[in-house]
Chains A and B, each alone.
Chain A
Amino acid sequence: MTAKKLGLKQRYAHMTRGLDWETTYQPMDKVFPYDTFEGIKIRDWSQWEDPFRLTMDAYWKFQAEKERKLYAVLDAFAQNNGQTNLSDGRYVNVVKLFLTGISPEEYQAHRGFAFAGRHLRGVGPRVAAQMQSLDELRHVQTQIHTISHYNKYFDGIGEFPHMHDRVWYLSVPKSFFDDARTAGPFEYMIAIGFAFEYLLTNLLFVPFMSGAAYNGDMSTVTFGFSAQSDESRHMTLGIEVIKFLLEQHPDNLPIVQKWVDKWFWRGHRMLGLVAMMMDYMLPKKVMSWKEAWDIYFTEAGGSLFQDLARYGLKVPKYADVATAEAEHISHQNWAVFYQYTHAAAFHTWMPDKEHLDWLSEKYPNTFDKYYRPRWEMWAQMEKDGKRFYNMALPQLCNTCQIPMAYTEPGDPTTIAFRESRFNGDTYHFCSDGCKDIFDGEPEKFAQSWLPVHQIFQGACGGPTVPDVLNWYRLNNGADNLDYVGSPDEKLWNQWMAGAVKAAG
Chain B
Amino acid sequence: MSVTAITPDYQKHIEFRDLEKNFHGNRLVYVHWEEHLSFCSAIAFPLPGAMPFSAFVDEVIKPHYAAHPDAGNIDWAKVVWMIDGVKTMPDMSKSLEENGMRHKSLVRFWTPGLNGFKGSAS
Given known contacts A184-B6, A336-B40, A339-B38, is B19 in contact with A425 (CB within 8 Å)?
yes
Bound together, the chains give a CA A412 to CA B117 distance in angstroms of 15
Are B16 and A423 in touch, CB under 8 angstroms? Answer: yes
Whether A491 sits at the interface, judged by CB under 8 Å, is no
Beta-carbon contacts of A26-67 to B below 8 Å, as 1s and 0s?
Answer: 000000011001110000000000000000000000000000
Q: What class of interface size applies to chain B in its complex with A?
A: 35 or more
Residue B89 is within 8 A (CB to CB) of chain A in the complex: no
B28 proximal to A (CB < 8 A): yes
A453 in contact (CB, < 8 A) = yes
B44 touches A373 (CB 8 A): no
Is A37 touching B67 in the complex (CB atoms < 8 A)? no
Whether B41 sits at the interface, judged by CB under 8 Å, is: yes
Contacts A446-B14, A450-B17, A453-B17 given; does A425 touch B103 at CB 8 Å:
yes
**Selected contact of B44 from candidates A33, A184, A332, A394, CB within 8 Å:** A394
A244 within 8 A of B: no
Interface bracket on A:
35 or more
Decide yes or no: A443 and B10 within 8 Å by CB, A377-B122, A426-B103 being known contacts: yes
On chain A, the residues within 8 Å of B84 by CB distance are 426
Interface residues of B in 4-33 (CB under 8 A from A): 4-6, 10-11, 14-19, 22-24, 26, 28, 30, 32
- Measured between beta carbons, the chain B residues less than 8 angstroms from A440 are 2-3
Residues of A within 8 A of B18 (CB): 425, 448, 450, 453
Judge if B92 is at the interface, Cβ distance under 8 Å.
Answer: no
Given contacts A415-B32, A426-B103, A428-B106, contact A374 B122 (CB under 8 A): yes
Interface residues, chain B, CB within 8 Å of chain A?
1-6, 10-11, 14-19, 22-24, 26, 28, 30, 32, 34-35, 37-46, 64, 67, 69, 84, 102-106, 108, 116-118, 120-122
Contact surface of A with B, Cβ cutoff 8 Å: 33-34, 37-39, 184, 332, 335-336, 339, 369-370, 373-374, 376-378, 381, 386, 388-396, 403-405, 407, 412-415, 417, 419, 423, 425-428, 439-444, 446-450, 452-454, 456-458
Pairs A–B under 8 Å by Cβ, sample size 15: A34-B6, A373-B116, A374-B120, A381-B69, A393-B44, A394-B44, A405-B40, A415-B41, A417-B42, A423-B16, A425-B103, A428-B106, A448-B17, A453-B28, A457-B23
